[in-house]
Chain A
Amino acid sequence: EDKVVQSPLSLVVHEGDTVTLNCSYEVTNFRSLLWYKQEKKAPTFLFMLTSSGIEKKSGRLSSILDKKELFSILNITATQTGDSAIYLCAVTLDAGNMLTFGGGTRLMVKP
């Protein structure tokens, strides 16, 4: 059975801290891994990773994939209260266009 596990489940930090969110997966025929941010409404796309070791970066957010160890991390530096959200990790497989999601990490950034 395909499985995507995120850790930690939740995290509380203060503004300015750096956080690392983890996503591990056990799936057959892996194709890509995606990160989404979900505030009050719909998930919004952050990154898609298909190759090991290549960092994707957008402002204070960055992510990298390790296809040998089957995990990805999402880093957020100099956190702001606006980073408070649920961060979702999902994988796609060669055999279809569906996303298999992890349970999410709830991040709260305190002022």
Chain B
Amino acid sequence: DAEITQSPRHKITETGRQVTLACHQTWNHNNMFWYRQDLGHGLRLIHYSYGVQDTNKGEVSDGYSVSRSNTEDLPLTLESAASSQTSVYFCASSDRLSYNEQFFGPGTRLTVL
């Protein structure tokens, strides 16, 4: 069955370290998204991609970067982790039609000490 996976599921790191969160989907979806979820803020969009070599900034992109070298993967990198980036991160994907639902991965809980 097609799916979307994230790794690691839990990560503890220290301030200033570079961290990469992986997202992999097997639906062959063109669109992929990264969100963070914090209490009181719901889900906020960090970066998104509409296809290979395409990346775009979302609402809260500062301190994060993504790259899209193939259809299946959209890794999220925190260049220099900060305590404010402690959060739960969700990856999602959808096919190229804008009105289609997004499918979410299981999430990565990141703690920055």
- Residue numbers of A with Cβ under 8 A of B are 6, 31-32, 34, 36, 41-45, 48, 50, 88, 90, 92, 94, 96-104
Contacts and interface: CB of A to CB of B under 8 A. Distances in A.
A6 to B, nearest CB: 8
Interface residues of B, number: 27
Contact of B58 (A48, A88, A98): A98
Given A42-B105, A97-B98, A98-B58, 14 more contacts: A6-B42, A31-B98, A34-B101, A36-B104, A41-B107, A43-B43, A45-B101, A48-B101, A92-B98, A97-B97, A98-B33, A99-B45, A101-B42, A102-B42
Contact of B43 (A41, A88, A92, A97): A88
Interface of B: 31, 33, 35, 40-45, 48, 50, 58, 90, 92, 94, 96-107
A104 B44 CA distance: 12
Contacts of A6: 42
Nearest to B103: A45
A30 to B, nearest CB: 11
Contacts of B92: 99
B90 A98 contact: no
Nearest to A104: B42
12 contacts: A32-B99, A36-B104, A42-B105, A42-B106, A45-B101, A48-B99, A96-B98, A97-B98, A97-B100, A101-B35, A101-B42, A101-B44
A16 B96 CA distance: 40
Contacts, number: 57
A43 B104 contact: yes
Nearest to A1: B59
B91 to A, nearest CB: 9
A39 to B, nearest CB: 12
Which of A6, A94, A100 neighbours the largest number of chain B CB atoms within 10 Å of its CB? A100
A103 B105 CA distance: 19
A50 B43 contact: no
B94 A97 contact: yes
